[in-house]
Amino acid sequence: MQAWRVALGVLGWALAAGSALATDLSSRVATGEAVMTLGRDAVWTQVSATPIGFDSFHAQGMVKVGEDFFVSSVEILERGRRYAQPQGGFDRDQGKGQGWLFRMNAKGELLASLKLGEGAIYHPGGLDFDGRFLWVPVAEYRPGGPSIVYRVDPRTMTATEAFRVGDHIGALAWDPATRSLTGANWGGRAIYRWTLGAKGLTPRRSAGPTRNRAHYVDYQDCHGAGPRRMLCSGLADYRGWLGRPPHTLGGMELIDLTDLRPLWQAPVQARSAAGVVMTSNPAFFEAIPGGVRGYFLPEDGRGTFYVYEARSPAR
């Protein structure tokens, strides 16, 4: 009798996981299509602004799973110091800190937390969900520093090291069509890809780095947007002209993973109450009728959880 109960439990979890995966994939396809309705004239309307009830430190990535949100973040204990001249191929030292994965609800309440990383590898990046597991990269807090990619069970908040990379991976996106992870390094200037093996941990094939063709924003967070598509968001600072102050531009890009070609690019013209660009750090998007809903945590510490909806005027 006990064996049957165990078997039924496993079957129940498999069916639930399959259903969750199908729902997640369907919604992500819709999100990718919805993004391509947004142009420069899209109107970003604030839906809510909720103060979060915990210190999120310096949040980096966010993904929605069911009704909850998983947020990766770095707690900076000692900022890295820049070298006068590069040393060992690095422009700064490692600094000190701790990596975190938080689970919170839409009210900004902390439900669970998990430490990630080891030693100088303490900077989590953008994360993604494959329908059952979360994938979280954690790197040294400097360009070119090594990374560990973790697979995390969101039900139990337990992490398993999957593989290591000799570069700073700042964001990951899951592609169900190829069972692969696509990673963007510091700022998204180069792209990597790892095709997972049968056990779902060790890559059986890897590719990259491949130079990114898009340069108008640096990627902060990425997610799969249906088969062979990735949606990334981020920002870049542009110098002012004729004595004017610099301008920060936020934006999103939908990328074809077959050849890493940008399919669609659009600015995100929304800012926090303090004037911070919404795509400064974590961002997650989903389709709504006629447009896209975005979830954002642009500020550090006990910041604000913003929800916006974007639609372009009818033509």
Q: Choose the weakest-confidence range: 8-22, 73-87, 109-123, 192-206.
A: 8-22
Percent of the chain with pLDDT strictly greater than 70: 92
Tokens of 247: 């301008």
What is the structure's pLDDT at 2? Answer: 40
Q: What is the largest CA-CA distance in the chain?
A: 79
What is the structure's pLDDT at 11? Answer: 30
Q: Tell me, yes or no, if the pTM score tops 0.85.
A: yes
**d(C-alpha 233, C-alpha 231), whole Å:** 7
* Cβ–Cβ under 8 Å, residues 193 and 182: yes
User: CA 294, 123, 91, 84 torsion: positive or negative?
Assistant: positive
Query: Per-residue b/e over 20-55, b at no fewer than 16 CB within 10 Å?
Result: eeeebbeebbbbbebbebbeeebebeeeeeeebeee
pLDDT at 12 over 50: no
pLDDT at 99 over 80: yes
* Cβ–Cβ under 8 Å, residues 268 and 251: yes
For 232-252, what is each residue's pLDDT tens digit? 999 999 988 888 888 899 999
pLDDT at 267 over 60: yes
Quick one: average pLDDT of 45-54?
98
Which residue intervals of the chain are DSSP H helices?
A: 2-35
**d(C-alpha 46, C-alpha 75), whole Å:** 28
Counting the structural domains of the chain, the total is 1
**Range of the structural domain that residue 34 is part of:** 2-311
**d(C-alpha 27, C-alpha 151), whole Å:** 22
DSSP 220-244: EEEEE-STTEEEEEEEEEE--STTP
Looking up tokens 């799969």 gives 224
For 116-151, what is each residue's pLDDT tens digit? 999 999 999 999 999 999 999 999 999 999 999 999
- Identify the CA nearest to 107 among candidates 66, 48, 50: 50
CATH of the domain at 6: 2.120.10
What is the structure's pLDDT at 191? Answer: 97
* Cβ–Cβ under 8 Å, residues 167 and 208: no
